[in-house]
């Protein structure tokens, strides 16, 4: 999974045409992984300020509204791709343009069989 972290507030402050240009700049990457048949899913996320956490501490649950991090970077979206190895994913990631001051993270999804009722 490729996780994309960025500054929600800075992105929201961009003029709409500039924000759209940044989103459109992802097309070469998206087309590459789609054409190779390895793109499983992708979504942009709503800002962290609109999220809700359920924190469980000492067996007690508490609902907390966002934002939650003490950083300017929040998880903004992801790409789920199927790859032979991390090196292949890193090559594809080179096609992702710099999205303002962003951070990209590769994290392997645990594959285990689970039955969900």
Q: How far apart are CA 24 and CA 3, in angstroms?
A: 18
Bigger pLDDT: 65 vs 87: 87
Closest CA to 29 of 95, 80, 73: 95
Asked if the model's pLDDT at residue 33 lies above 90, the reply is: yes
Q: Where are the alpha helices (DSSP H) in 42-103?
A: 86-93
Q: Is 23 helix (H, G, I), strand (E, B) or coil?
A: helix
77 vs 17, 19, 59, 84, 105, CA distance in Å?
20, 15, 31, 22, 11
pLDDT, position 68 = 59
pLDDT, position 99 = 66
Q: Could you read off the pLDDT of 108-117 as tens digits, one per residue?
A: 887 777 666 6
CATH superfamily of the domain spanning 2-106:
Dimeric alpha+beta barrel (3.30.70.1060)
Q: Could you read off the pLDDT of 6-26 as tens digits, one per residue?
A: 888 888 899 999 989 988 988
């Amino acid at each position: 999974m490729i996780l994309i972290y960025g500054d929600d507030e800075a992105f929201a402050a961009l003029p709409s045409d500039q924000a759209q240009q940044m989103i459109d700049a992802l097309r070469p990457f998206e087309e590459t992984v789609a054409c190779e048949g390895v793109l499983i899913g992708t979504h942009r996320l709503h800002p962290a300020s609109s999220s809700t956490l359920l924190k469980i501490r000492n067996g007690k649950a508490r609902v907390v509204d966002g934002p939650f991090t003490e950083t300017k970077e929040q998880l903004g979206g992801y790409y789920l791709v199927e790859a032979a190895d991390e090196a292949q994913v890193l090559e594809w990631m080179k096609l992702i343009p710099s999205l303002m001051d962003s951070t990209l993270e590769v994290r392997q999804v645990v594959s285990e069989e689970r039955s969900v009722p």
